[in-house]
């Protein structure tokens, strides 16, 4: 998409650099998010530049490569970022969502959409997220952390979910019901991370809550979404169209308040900014945190935009408000009611 310059209603023109791709398993998912975000921003009156991080780590601008070596192409990408009013880092997973791009924007002193390095790193690490949640009084599934070197000696007494400690889009996530399935699940997870989380299965409804921090510092939660699927909501189920979503989820006032309250506490405990998706299991005893996504999927059909659409906020306005709230990573956010 060529950069387009429009004048917003208030008379200012802003240039946004959207970064997609990435050097991880979520590369294609990220490209879909970046393309959708760029299109929405162009339609909303922004000047848009698109940068892509290739699978080999080199950068490109639009369809043009910025070099064949990583460091020179990164230097060229920084010249594109120079002078931008904001960067929209639409890179999911490691080397993007984990705070890497937030650190780059902090060093460049460039406003960025979303969470800073600390929140991104904590939110990407599922074990660290569990520790933060427990300190905030939010229940999590019983679990333990093992390394790839330890997997041959791992056993269990009940069925478990195995997942890489730091990966997204459910890559490497599997359900294990016996020793053979556990060995295979651990080997699969180890392809994505050398730290692996093993959790007890939680029986409950899968409910997601999206939280948005506005430019004035206020943060609020959209109507929760429920995921309907048979079995584990794994990578295949996420993208093959078999899962169904209900938004707003069919919840009574007590459950909705508990989920929303837990999502806001988790958002604050991690120090998130921009938008985050907080995933829960709703059990008979209340919410149990599953995980946090500080840069969730952001096509118009993704879960987060669906939730905000249910609140009356269109996709185009959602991405515009995220740009409005962009700050230089590491700067304190203004508090609001």
Q: List the CATH number of the domain containing 91.
A: 3.40.50.20
CB 316 within 8 A of CB 219: no
Same domain, 162 and 308: no
Task: Please tell me which of 2-6, 116-120, 232-236 the model is most confident about, judged by mean pLDDT.
Answer: 116-120
Which band of pLDDT confidence, cut at 50, 70 and 90, is reported for residue 151?
confident
Domain boundary among 200, 216, 240: 200
Are 182 and 224 in the same domain? no
Pairwise CA distance, residues 115 & 109, whole Å: 15
Question: 73 by DSSP, 3-state: which?
Answer: helix
Mean pLDDT, range 238-247, rounded to an integer: 71
Exposed / middle / buried, residue 74 (Cβ in 10 Å: 0-12, 13-18, 19+): middle
Mean pLDDT (whole number) for 66-88: 96
Whole-number percent of the chain with pLDDT over 70: 90
Instruction: Indicate whether 330 pLDDT > 60.
Output: yes
Whether residue 61 lies inside any domain: the answer is yes
Q: Where are the beta strands (DSSP E) in the chain?
A: 15-21, 47-53, 59-61, 64-65, 86-89, 143-147, 160-164, 174-176, 195-200, 205-213, 219-221, 225-228, 244-246, 275-283, 286-293
Shared domain for 190 and 289, answered yes or no, is no
DSSP code for 247: S
Alpha-carbon span 157 to 175, nearest angstrom: 14
Per residue in 161-219, pLDDT (tens digit) is 999 998 766 788 899 988 888 889 999 999 888 999 999 999 999 999 999 999 999 99
If you ran DSSP here, which 8-state letter would residue 79 be given?
A: H
Mean of pLDDT values over 18-38: 94
pLDDT at 169: 61
State residue 230's pLDDT score. Answer: 72
Break the chain down into helix, strand, coil percent, rounded to 5. 35, 25, 40
For residue 231, pLDDT over 70 is answered with no
Q: What is the CATH number of the domain that holds 210?
A: 3.30.470.20
What's the pLDDT score for residue 242?
Answer: 61
pLDDT of 313 above 60: yes
Domain count, the chain: 3
Share of the chain above pLDDT 90, in %: 76
Looking at the predicted structure, is the pLDDT value of residue 235 above 80? no
Report whether pLDDT(84) > 80: yes
Domain of residue 245 covers 122-139+202-324
Evaluate if residue 6 carries a pLDDT over 70.
no
Does the pLDDT at position 1 exceed 60? no
pLDDT at 233: 53
Q: Are 88 and 19 in contact (CB under 8 A)?
A: yes
Whether 117 is in a domain gets the answer no
Give the global pTM: 0.89
Query: Are residues 312 and 215 part of one domain?
Result: yes
In a domain, 2, yes or no: no
Report yes or no on 285 lying in a domain. Answer: yes
Mean pLDDT rounded to a whole number for the chain: 90
pLDDT score, position 172: 84
Task: Say if 333 falls within a structural domain.
Answer: no
Q: What angle do CA 100, 102, 107 make, to 5 degrees?
A: 100
């Amino acid at each position: 998409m060529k950069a387009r310059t429009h004048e917003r209603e208030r008379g200012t023109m802003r240039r946004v650099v959207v970064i997609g791709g990435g050097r991880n398993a979520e590369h294609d998912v990220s490209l879909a998010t970046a393309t959708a975000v760029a299109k929405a921003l162009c339609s909303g009156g922004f000047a848009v530049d698109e940068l892509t991080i290739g699978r080999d780590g080199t950068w490109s601008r639009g369809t043009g490569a910025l070099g064949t070596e990583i460091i020179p192409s990164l230097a060229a990408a920084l010249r594109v970022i120079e002078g931008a009013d904001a960067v929209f880092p639409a890179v999911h997973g490691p080397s993007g969502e984990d705070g890497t791009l937030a650190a780059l924007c902090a060093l460049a002193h460039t406003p960025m959409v979303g969470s800073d390095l600390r929140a991104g790193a904590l939110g990407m690490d599922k074990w660290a997220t569990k520790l933060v949640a427990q300190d905030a009084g939010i229940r999590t599934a019983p679990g333990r952390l093992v390394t790839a070197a330890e997997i041959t000696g791992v056993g269990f007494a009940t069925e478990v979910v195995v997942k890489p400690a730091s990966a997204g889009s459910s890559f490497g996530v599997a359900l294990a019901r016996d020793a053979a399935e556990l060995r295979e699940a651990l080997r699969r997870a180890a392809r994505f991370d050398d730290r692996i989380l093993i959790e007890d299965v939680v029986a409950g409804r899968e409910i997601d809550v999206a939280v948005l921090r506005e430019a004035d510092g206020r943060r609020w939660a959209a109507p929760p979404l429920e995921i309907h699927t048979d079995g584990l909501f794994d990578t295949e189920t996420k993208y093959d169209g078999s899962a169904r979503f209900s938004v707003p989820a069919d919840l009574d006032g007590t459950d909705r308040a508990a989920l929303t309250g837990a999502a806001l506490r988790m958002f604050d405990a991690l120090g998130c900014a921009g938008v985050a998706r907080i995933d829960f299991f709703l059990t008979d005893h209340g919410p149990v945190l599953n995980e946090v996504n500080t840069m969730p999927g952001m096509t118009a059909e993704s879960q987060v935009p669906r939730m905000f659409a249910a609140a009356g906020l269109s996709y185009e306005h959602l991405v515009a408000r995220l740009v409005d709230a962009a700050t230089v990573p590491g700067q304190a956010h203004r508090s609001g009611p």
